[in-house]
Amino acid sequence: MNKIELLAPAGDLEKLKAAIDYGADAVYFGGEAFSLRAGAGNFTEEEMLEGIKYAHDRGRKCHLTLNIFPHNEDIEPIQKYLEHIKDFGIDAFIVSDPGTIMMVKEIIPNAEIHLSTQANMTNYMTARFWAQYGVKRVVMARELSLEEMRGVRDMIPAEMDTEAFIHGAMCISYSGRCLLSNFMIQRDANKGECAHPCRWKYSLVEEQRPGEEFPVEEDERGTYIMNSKDLCMIEHIPDLIASGISSAKIEGRMKSAFYVATIVGAYRKAIDAYYKDPENYKFNPAWLEEVKKVSHRDFTTGFYYGKAGNESQNYASSAYTRDYDFVGKVLDFDEATMIATVEQRNKMVLGDEIEVFGPYTDFWTQKLDYLKDEEGNDLESAPHPQQILKIRMDHPVKHNFMLRKRKEK
Residue 141 · residue 117 · CB < 8 Å: yes
Domains, in order of start, for the chain: 5-173+227-312 (3.20.20.70), 324-406 (2.40.30.10)
User: What's the pTM value of the predicted model, to 2 decimals?
Assistant: 0.88
CA distance 131 to 91: 18
- The three-state secondary structure class of 60 is coil
Find all residues with CB under 8 Å of 310, minimum gap 6, and list them. Answer: none
Partnered with residue 138 across adjacent β-strands are 115, 162
- The three-state secondary structure class of 361 is coil
Report the Cα 132 to chain-centroid distance in Å: 30
> Which pLDDT score, from 0 to 100, does residue 221 have?
47
Partnered with residue 204 across adjacent β-strands are 214
Q: Measured between alpha carbons, how far is residue 402 from residues 16, 262, 264, 274 in Å?
A: 15, 9, 13, 26
Please report the beta strands in 251-387, taking only residues with DSSP state E, as ranges in sequence order: 299-300, 324-334, 339-344, 348-349, 353-357, 364-367, 371-373, 381-382
Written as tens digits, the pLDDT of the chain (409 aa) is 589 999 999 999 999 999 999 999 999 998 877 765 555 557 888 999 999 999 999 999 999 999 888 999 999 999 999 999 999 999 999 999 999 999 999 999 999 999 999 899 999 999 999 999 999 999 999 889 999 999 999 999 999 999 999 999 877 666 666 777 777 888 776 666 777 777 777 777 777 877 777 666 555 444 566 677 889 999 999 999 999 999 999 998 889 999 999 999 999 999 999 999 999 999 999 999 999 999 887 888 988 998 765 555 555 555 667 899 999 999 999 999 999 999 999 999 999 999 999 999 999 999 999 999 999 999 999 988 899 999 999 999 999 999 999 987 6
